[in-house]
A and B are shown apart, each in its own frame.
Chain A
Amino acid sequence: MRLPSGGLIDRSHPIRFSYDGHSYQGVQGDTLASALIANGLKTVARSFKYHRPRGIMTAGSEEPNALVTLGHGAGQEPNLRATTLELYEGLAARSQNCWPSVNFDLLALNDLAAPFFGAGFYYKTFMWPRAFWEMLYEPAIRRAAGLGALSGLPDEDRYERAFAHCDLLVIGAGPAGLMAALEAARAGADVILADEDSRMGGRLNADLTEVDGRPGPDWAADVAADLAQMDNVRCMSRTTVTGAYDHGTFSAVERVAMHLPHPGDAPREAFWRIVAKRAVLATGALERPVAFQNNDRPGIMMAGAVRSYLNRYAVAPGRSVAVFGNNDSAHATARALIDHGIHVAALIDSRPGVQTDLDVPLYHGQVCGSEGRKGLEAISIATASGIEKVQADCLAVSGGWNPSLHLTCHMNGRPQWDESTAAFHPRPGMVPGLEPVGAANGVFTTADALAQGRKAAQAALTDLGLKPANIPLPKAEDGAYDITPLWSVPGRGRAWLDFQNDVTVKDVKLAAQESYRSVEHMKRYTTQGMAPDQGKNSNMGALAVLADATGRSIPETGTTTYRAPYTPTTLGAIAAGARGKGFAPERFTTSHAASEEAPMVEAGLWYRPSYFPKPGESYWRESCDREVGYVRNAVGICDVSTLGKIDIQGQDAGEFLDFVYTNMFSTLKVGRTRYGLMLREDGHVMDDGTTARLGEHHYLMTTTTAAAGQVMRHLAFVHQCLRPALDVQFISVTEQWAQFAVAGPKSRELLNSLLDHDITGETFSFMGCGDVSLGGVSARLFRISFSGEHAYEIAVPARYGESLFRLLRARAETLGGGAYGMEALNVLRIEKGFITHSEIHGRVTAFDVGLQGMMSKKKDFVGKTASERPGLMDPDRERLVGLKPTGPVKQLTAGAHLFNLGEDAVRQNDQGYITSVGFSPTLGHFLGLGFLRNGPDRIGEEIRMVDHVRGIETTAEVCHPVFFDPQGGRARD
């Protein structure tokens, strides 16, 4: 019911919205919750387990009941709290967790079966047999018990991630936070003020507390406006600080465009990482319920929330309202009701002897039950003289206030129990640099909040070497907070502690009875505190009931703690900036645009062509076989720019290379290239590649594509951490040069048709390198081969890469060749027994790949000592061999395992495995490389290959890994 006047709303702006398909009207400034109350809706949800009807309970992000789903299709978003959803034109919300409707839910049958659904029910009932769990129990339980559903479609909304830095982060813009922000801002500090609400002011907007002789909301609005104008302040409303992390890092979620009907390109939410030198926690406090029989009936709300609805939204949650509490919050609500002309049916105070000057029926006692079919109709009050029934359609409850200290717990700090406020308070220093103030610090008067806010800001300023501004402290209310703890009202029936997860007092008592006496065990047994509200409403009550049931005090029983995030956070927000194309950079070679027809394969972040299909080719193997033929018979062109290239200079460059490679490089002649093998310090192979000597103190190292980054880091490690005295500098030039393999018997012919000056076998002999030019552009030419053919790699500055690739490709085609991709490259190198990271996968030694001869005896190098450990030189190790199929199945598969003929294909009999395979069009059959126990001594043996995953089995002959041209004449001549 909308009140005739008042509220921080704009009645001149009506807003149409729908809920469960029905149209309603609200006004600008409403939340969905206030608009539903304005329209008289009581039951807005069904509970998690028992499907009991539930109503709006709070006016904030802690709301356990009023969860709704917005949108349809890809945009569907479940579990949004109606209490924080700002109303906008056309908003369409629906209730969830009910079928067919929120008012008539068939699964409410669960409620009748409640005796069977107590604490530990899942654990006890569905233990056996195991198969039933997967087939029967779990699907049924998941359908019956669960919160809203996702669409299962990709989320098309825009999300944003962002970073911010400041001197002081103020979390919460109530009186304490505003005061802290203003003090720091006036002192010239960089301030970020983040507040969850759309409107700054915190409880001032709900209670209309006077500050500085003016209504609180006005004072708050003025301060917020002041702050917004200052260059050194960033005011972030609709922003929830969700986590506190090491060294002043905080996460925050900003709801950027969720409150707008047409957001355009604006992100729905932004995920902020804020780095603050100091922080002030001014997050206020959350009111807690009292457990009594049927305390979950729609119409039963928090007392502070009722004030919010009356004062801020000008809606009345009932016509005849009862108020029940153990502290002064109940009285404040009764007063607000009277101020707004609402009938107060009863004021029930559990504290003995407390009086009121309000003209309301005052009861000293406790509410012990509720009645009503679709919502609250009457309450029962237990007093000294017996039980009395009072008609009311709304009950406002206050069990006291819990400081919102959640963020202080995020780094494993534990709060301390405070007897006078019957609540946990933060201890100093729980999060370094974060100072809790005001209600978040257990101080419940506005005057104290203002003072603490200013004081904390001043302390932070002093720490940061800034002079406090010492802004005047406004006058405000300074009443005492008086509370007598009341957690649960004795009586029969079910009394709810955790509304969101349907956990009752009985469940907690049962847990205690069954020896789950630790809070952590009780929580897991009952699922208390595990719903999206993370126990904000229930942790304290459950702890108190557990304490009572186990005969201990609250601090003896345990403590409450909280993890990030403070409120449920969408995965879309967390993943902002890292979805789709934002997930990882894409690296393209310069020839990418000239390789349009080629399907691409991802090699790390690089995209490389798999093969270049020709019209009429229907299967990749046809293309691959053709491309292998180019290289073996004519000339093939392949972009090899993705290989890591590192430019190394300095007078100790040779010595440096001698230390990182197993073989010698200081002896390499200028103008020559050498294959090098690099080990990890533990003796296993890290990487291999060729390194050219370009000058006396100048080398160019090549790494594999996969290990380029790792090798760069390794070189930096070796230089900085092991041999800093070496005079050497190195830098990656991978991006500078576009490099192409020109491979095949006609490669020199092709090059000579392009180069400004012809090359010969003398000027560029095998493993030679040097400068050349094409069309006046200087280039580098290396006579190296990864195919076993007469081959070169030519490198030009990357700007010319695409142009050169097109030229090379066109010339190759006139010579009966063309471009080749990764598939052909792989077959070519397997035919030659050349290894890649399929073979040097991290567990193999130089000995395993047959390269022990490359380990120099004359010098120390990284990995030398460790590689000589006996276990790494054992002939019985799995060592590199070639394989070709001999059985009826003429195929080999990578990943298949090897077994002796006649032995079972089980782990105990494992003889090795296959790492690379390919069909060799040159030799007309499949080839494989793999590792076999004592392999080199078993050449000619027949072995059994079993691929358990693909279900393929064959026999294979163990061969020397070099299948083609073992003498290597084709590359040298």
Chain B
Amino acid sequence: MIELLAKTPCDGLLPRTIGTVTLTEISFEAITSVAPLTGQEDAVSGTLKAQMGAAFPKPGRTTGKAHARAVWSGLGQALVLGPALQPIPGAAMTDQTDAWACVALEGDGARDVLARLTPLDLRPSVFRQGHAARTELAHMSAVLMRTGESRYGIMAFRSMAKTLVHDVTEAMTSVAARTRL
């Protein structure tokens, strides 16, 4: 039997620390999109909660915690990051485990770095811990979530991993250089 070797999207590119900010790749056992079919929203949310302890998230929100998180990812759709899910009756479920480059941006100044990349309002009073957004990051479509005081999760298309790392580290470089002025 042959053996297929797995590579992560940011293989060989991360981690990077510039100044006080660190960019690391995160891997999940599974990423599954969950989209309730007509009239199934409550039932799907209940089943999801039973399976992983987190309800279906409201727009702009996440539920759950670090290794079992559900992230709202668009109209009627969430991405479940963490455990592989059992089929949920009433939901369209799609394996997205390999579709996303997932990185964490952490440290003092992480918000300043993001402010160079996305037009999203990142003020701590507006984009709070537990919030998530589908937005533009550099020129990429991204899922952004605030997972800690100075920690953000970023998801971009796998094929754009190199651009993601390039654009984020460019911003990190500028922010770090500014603090030295």
Contacts and interface: CB of A to CB of B under 8 A. Distances in A.
A796 interface: yes
B174 A735 contact: no
Contact of A265 (B99, B126, B162, B174): B174
Contacts of B122: 165
B66 interface: no
B4 interface: yes
A725 to B, nearest CB: 8
Contacts of B160: 585-587, 605
Contact of B116 (A161, A265, A647, A800): A161
A199 interface: no
A729 B76 contact: yes
A163 interface: yes
Interface in A727-777: 727, 729-737, 754, 756, 774-777
A60 interface: no
Contacts of B164: 585
Contacts of A894: none
B7 A590 contact: yes
Contact of B7 (A649, A731, A734, A802): A802
Interface in A227-271: 256-257, 260, 263-267
A581 B166 contact: yes
Interface string B88-125: 00001111111110000000000000011011111101
A799 B8 contact: yes
A797 B94 CA distance: 12
A412 interface: no
A775 B1 contact: yes
A266 B177 contact: yes
Contacts of A577: 116, 138, 167
Contact of A799 (B1, B7, B96): B7
B-side interface mostly: loop
B4 A733 contact: no
Interface residues of A, number: 62
A651 B160 CA distance: 33
Given A577-B116, A729-B76, A736 B96 contact: yes
B97 A736 contact: yes
Interface string A387-423: 0000000000000000000000000000000000000
B18 to A, nearest CB: 9
Contacts of B77: 729, 731
A650 B5 CA distance: 34
A651 B2 contact: no
A802 B98 CA distance: 13
Contacts of B92: 647, 649-650, 729-731
Contact of B159 (A587, A800, A803): A587
Contact of A266 (B1, B99, B158, B178): B178
Interface residues of B, number: 57
Given A587-B157, A731-B94, A803 B38 contact: no
Nearest to A249: B119
Interface in A580-602: 581-582, 584-590
A217 B139 CA distance: 44
A256 B8 CA distance: 37
A266 B119 contact: no
Contacts of A651: 37
A730 B96 CA distance: 13
Contacts of A275: 119, 121
Contacts of A161: 116
Interface in B50-70: none
Given A265-B173, A582-B138, A775 B35 contact: no
Interface string A552-594: 0000000000000000000000000110011011111110000
Interface string B167-178: 100110110111
A804 interface: yes
A263 B178 CA distance: 9
B157 A735 contact: yes
A798 interface: yes
Contacts of B126: 165
Nearest to A576: B116
Interface in B135-181: 138-140, 157-164, 166-167, 170-171, 173-174, 176-178, 180-181
A190 B124 CA distance: 11
Contacts of A260: 181
A606 interface: yes
Interface string B1-41: 11111111100000000000000000000000101011000
A807 B158 contact: no
B115 A163 contact: yes
A266 B181 contact: yes
A578 B174 CA distance: 15
B6 A803 contact: yes
A733 B99 contact: yes
A734 B159 CA distance: 10
Interface string A160-191: 11111100000000000000000000000010
B139 A807 contact: no
A712 B162 CA distance: 24
Contacts of A796: 4
Given A729-B37, A729-B77, A798 B99 contact: yes
Contacts of A621: none
A606 B98 CA distance: 18
A265 B140 CA distance: 24
B6 A273 contact: no
B177 A264 contact: yes
A890 interface: no
A158 interface: yes
Nearest to B163: A585
B4 A775 contact: yes
* Residue with the highest number of chain A CB atoms closer than 10 Å, among B2, B99, B120: B2
Contacts of A737: 98
A594 to B, nearest CB: 11
Contacts of B8: 799
A273 B174 contact: no
Interface in A772-825: 774-777, 796-804, 807
Contacts of B123: 165, 190
A582 B173 CA distance: 14
Given A731-B77, A735-B159, A756-B1, A160 B6 contact: no
B78 to A, nearest CB: 11
22 contacts: A161-B116, A163-B115, A165-B121, A257-B181, A260-B181, A266-B174, A266-B177, A582-B139, A582-B167, A585-B164, A586-B160, A605-B160, A649-B93, A720-B75, A727-B37, A729-B37, A731-B77, A733-B99, A735-B99, A735-B158, A756-B1, A798-B99
Given A797-B98, A803-B7, 20 more contacts: A161-B116, A162-B116, A266-B178, A273-B119, A585-B139, A585-B163, A585-B164, A586-B162, A588-B159, A588-B161, A589-B159, A647-B92, A647-B94, A650-B38, A727-B38, A731-B96, A735-B100, A736-B95, A756-B1, A775-B4
In the A-B complex, the 6 residue pairs with the smallest Cβ-Cβ separation, listed nearest first, are: A265-B177, A649-B92, A729-B92, A735-B99, A798-B98, A587-B159
